[in-house]
Structure 1
Amino acid sequence: MSIVFYFCAMPVTVYLLPIAAYLLGAIPTAVWLSKYVYGKDVREHGSKNAGATNTFRVLGKQAGIMVLIADILKGTLAASLSLMVAEQFNADDLMLYKLALGFTATMGHIYSIFIRFKGGKGVATFTGMLYFIFPLAAITCTAFFLIVFIFSHYISLSSMSSALLFPIAAILFYQLDDMRVMLLLGLIPLIVLYTHRSNMLRLARGEESKMYLYKRKSG
């Protein structure tokens, strides 16, 4: 019964913030920017994915960077909503609540109510959440992402590789021992792998598109 009383004693804001986090994450940055600013829907071009990577391919660096920053900020802002009710939690539960808000925002990004539940792949929004909660581990994984990308030129492979590294980095850097937190962290690579399942097939077939930060010289 103590658990029931614990949750009943929480202010209603604690239960409303996940809804706000979902709606924040569900903002389809790539779709709205491409349609209403550039006059071209990214879902009809390239990989047809409503995310930053496809925006880079379809609309170029400027649009891609804007979408990437916005999608990262969605995760950061969602997790930061926890500060509004931080006094309601102990340290372990607050970390869990931050993760819950970030996960909810990422699910909003992947399954956006604004575009018929077909959104992006969640990597940027996850990244924003992780920079807010576990900055050292997030920086490490960003560096690893860049290393993999420099050598492979595959955004998808870089994303999946850094996602697999993150739970390990977070546990080691922050000496985590809360099983609930570790289980949630373990879900991150699983979700990223799931949203990249088509990319994995293309990688296996040698059909995945590469991306370059600079224009390759012809000849």
Structure 2
Amino acid sequence: MLPPLALPLLFSGYLLGSIPAGYLAGRWLKGIDIRQHGSGSTGATNVLRVLGKGPALAVFLVDVLKGTAAVVLAKVLLAGAAGWGTDSWVVAAGLAALAGHIWPVWLGWRGGKAVATALGMLLGLTWPVGLACFGVFLTVLSLSRIVSLSSVVAAVALPALMLAWFQDQGLGLRWPYLVLALLTSVLVIWRHRSNLARLLEGREPRLGEAPPPR
């Protein structure tokens, strides 16, 4: 039997994740549909290319916060409800936020690649793992200046970082969190499949370079 708050939590997580910050920034600042410019993504990297640093930072922060908000809301509402499988439903709310970002109902199911929202979700769930993933991302970015490569490497590292954190804390293996790490990794890598193809061809742009024609 589903807990009374299960469906509202999933719905609210999806709605939070579906807030189209990049799209709104394009409409408000330049009157454009950002999906028709640059790489076509609604994420902060494409906002940086099309609108500049300030809007890109704002979009990044909103995308991070909506992932954090989804899991924090679930934790608050499920406090004291351990008998309902709290971990599983908090994780489900986080995954719903990722789904909302990738497939927002407001934009015809065409959203971003979920990297910033995934970071926010991780910071809300297990902030040390979120910071570790962000550290991996920044390290690869400083060496390569390729955002997609940095995102994929951080996604690949996520399951190992999650497992290492729980073992280090002596908390045992918490399956909902490991499943979340694996699903998040798969989603981020899948959303970057065209970037991976360009990386193999040596055509993936670095920061400051224009994206290849779509």
Task: Tell me the TM-score normalized by structure 1.
Answer: 0.88
The answer as to 2:145 corresponding to 1:145 is: no
Of 177, 195, 211 in structure 1, the residue corresponding to residue 207 of structure 2 is 211
Correspondences of 1:1-219 after superposition (within 5 Å): 4=1, 7=2, 10-11=3-4, 13-82=5-74, 83-90=76-83, 93-175=85-167, 176-212=172-208
Q: Provide the aligned C-alpha RMSD in A.
A: 1.5
SS at match of 1:37: helix
- Write the letter of the residue equivalent to 1:66: A
- Write the letter of the residue equivalent to 1:94: T
- Write the letter of the residue equivalent to 2:66: K
Higher Rg of the two aligned structures: 1
Is residue 24–residue 74 contact of structure 1 (8 Å, CA) maintained in 2? yes
SS at match of 1:207: coil
Is residue 14–residue 85 contact of structure 1 (8 Å, CA) maintained in 2? no
- Distance in 1 (alpha carbons) for counterparts of 2:99 and 2:45: 18
Post-superposition Cα deviations, 1:38-64, rounded to whole Å, max 9, x if no partner, equal 323211111011111100111111010
1:104 positional shift? 0.2
- Distance in 2 (alpha carbons) for counterparts of 1:26 and 1:183: 22
| Structure 2 unmatched ranges of 5 or more | 209-214
How many corresponding residue pairs? 203
- Distance in 2 (alpha carbons) for counterparts of 1:43 and 1:111: 13
Match of 1:215 in 2: none
Is residue 21–residue 59 contact of structure 2 (8 Å, CA) maintained in 1? yes
SS at match of 2:158: helix
Is residue 66–residue 120 contact of structure 2 (8 Å, CA) maintained in 1? yes
- Write the letter of the residue equivalent to 1:202: R
Match of 1:217 in 2: none
- Distance in 2 (alpha carbons) for counterparts of 1:180 and 1:24: 21
- Distance in 2 (alpha carbons) for counterparts of 1:37 and 1:206: 33
Stretch moving more, 112-121 or 160-169: 160-169
Is residue 95–residue 133 contact of structure 1 (8 Å, CA) maintained in 2? no
SS at match of 1:27: coil
Task: Tell me the TM-score normalized by structure 2.
Answer: 0.90
